[in-house]
Amino acid sequence: MHSIDDLIDIALKEDIGPADITTDNLVGPELEGVGVTIAKESLVIAGLEVAKSVFQRLDPQIVYQSEFKDGDTVKKGDTIFQVSGTLGALLKGERTALNFLQRLSGIATNVRFYVDQLKKNTVRLVDTRKTTPGLRCLEKYAVRVGGAFNHRMGLYDGVLIKDNHIAAGGGITASVERIRSKISHLVKIEVEVSNLDEVKEAIDAGADVIMLDNMSVEKIKESIVLIGGRTIVEVSGGVTQDNFLRLADTGVDLISVGAFTHSARSMDISMRIKPTKSTDK
């Protein structure tokens, strides 16, 4: 798994390549500048440390100032942060820093909408693995900033027997038994089901968590009665801003929302950079 520094380095290399032929031929190394980042719409901010680190990778002496922290609500027109340092570093880092900030803030803002609608409902909203390749750790961080929770980070930290696993493993019972015999007793087993017969089989097989996939509200309610508190109940599939409250009201424990990440739009954030003085290097 890439570290945050690795992701920043990859992003900068992708953008700058062997050289920034505009900046390098226009701006001398002796020039300093200031960059002011402005919210063009109201949003929940996420990724401030990442954005700051982009500029610090290009100029370790960059000075960063902000009145906000991740998770704060920023209003349209607010100055999110200001960076001061070598003008070349500001110009080279601007787009990469904004790309991270806009994407992560978009996810956090999207998630916060769902969380705010729940009010006193105690159902736990969780994300999925439907993330941008390579950016999962950051996007799942943005989900937490928005107020929801992470499901599993990847295939390595939780057992989830989905429909294709069930087909490959010879059914729910056989799959659960085989996996149970090979994993630690501390690891929960979750099974995805799509009808009441599969719910019954998952219960009898000893599943710890049952995921009700793309089931109607009526079938979800029937499943909850059938399960009777013997397992954790998760709902997944086709969850949107329009229907998630109806799902929350059924009494399930978890709702997984792929739209947290795959349908979040990047927020509108801009940066204005201007030269200030020479460093006399």
Domain CATH number, residue 221: 3.20.20.70
Tally of domains within the chain? 2
213 part of the active site: yes
Residues 155 and 103 in one domain: no
**Which residues, in sequence order, are CB contacts of 5 under 8 Å at separation 6+?**
53, 57
Residues 81 and 170 in one domain: no
Return the pLDDT at 278.
Answer: 64
269 located within any domain: yes
pLDDT in tens, 44-103: 999 999 999 999 999 999 999 999 999 999 999 999 999 999 999 999 999 999 999 999
Nearest to 220 by CA among 242, 262, 249, 182: 249
120 located within any domain: no
User: Is the pTM above the cut of 0.85?
Assistant: yes
**Residue 265 per-residue DSSP state:** P
Return the pLDDT at 2.
Answer: 72
73 located within any domain: yes
162 part of the active site: yes
Sign of the four-CA dihedral 173, 179, 180, 182:
positive
From the list 127, 192, 201, 234, the catalytic residue is 192
Nearest to 235 by CA among 137, 128, 121, 117: 128
Return the pLDDT at 281.
Answer: 46
Return the pLDDT at 207.
Answer: 98
119 part of the active site: no
Return the pLDDT at 153.
Answer: 95
14 located within any domain: yes
38 located within any domain: yes
From the list 32, 59, 213, 234, the catalytic residue is 213
Whether the Cβ atoms of residue 230 and residue 199 lie closer than 8 Å to each other: no
Rounded to 5 degrees, what angle do the CA atoms 204, 209, 215 make? 90
Q: DSSP for 96-151?
A: HHHHHHHHHHHHHHHHHHHHHHHTT--PEEE--S---TT-HHHHHHHHHHHT-B--
From the list 20, 95, 200, 221, the catalytic residue is 95
From the list 144, 162, 200, 219, the catalytic residue is 162
Side chain identity, residue 147: G
Residues 274 and 247 in one domain: no
Whether the Cβ atoms of residue 138 and residue 50 lie closer than 8 Å to each other: yes
Nearest to 205 by CA among 221, 189, 194, 219: 189
Burial 111-125 (b: 16+ CB within 10 A, else e): bbebeeebeeeebbb
- CA-to-CA separations, 103 to 40, 51, 82, 140, in angstroms, rounded: 14, 11, 19, 12
52 part of the active site: no
Helix, strand or coil for residue 95?
helix
Residues 108 and 172 in one domain: no
- CA-to-CA separations, 217 to 120, 203, 208, 245, in angstroms, rounded: 20, 20, 22, 11
141 located within any domain: no
Question: What is the block-wise mean pLDDT of the chain (281 residues), using blocks of 10 residues?
Answer: 89 97 94 97 98 97 98 98 97 98 98 96 97 96 98 96 96 97 96 98 98 96 97 96 95 97 97 81 46
95 part of the active site: yes
132 located within any domain: no
Q: What is d(CA 268, CA 271) in angstroms, rounded to the nearest whole number?
A: 10
Return the pLDDT at 277.
Answer: 72
Q: Which domain holds residue 159?
A: 149-256
Domain CATH number, residue 72: 3.90.1170.20
Q: Provide the token pair at 191.
A: 């099974």
124 located within any domain: no
Residues 108 and 10 in one domain: yes
From the list 129, 130, 180, 221, the catalytic residue is 130
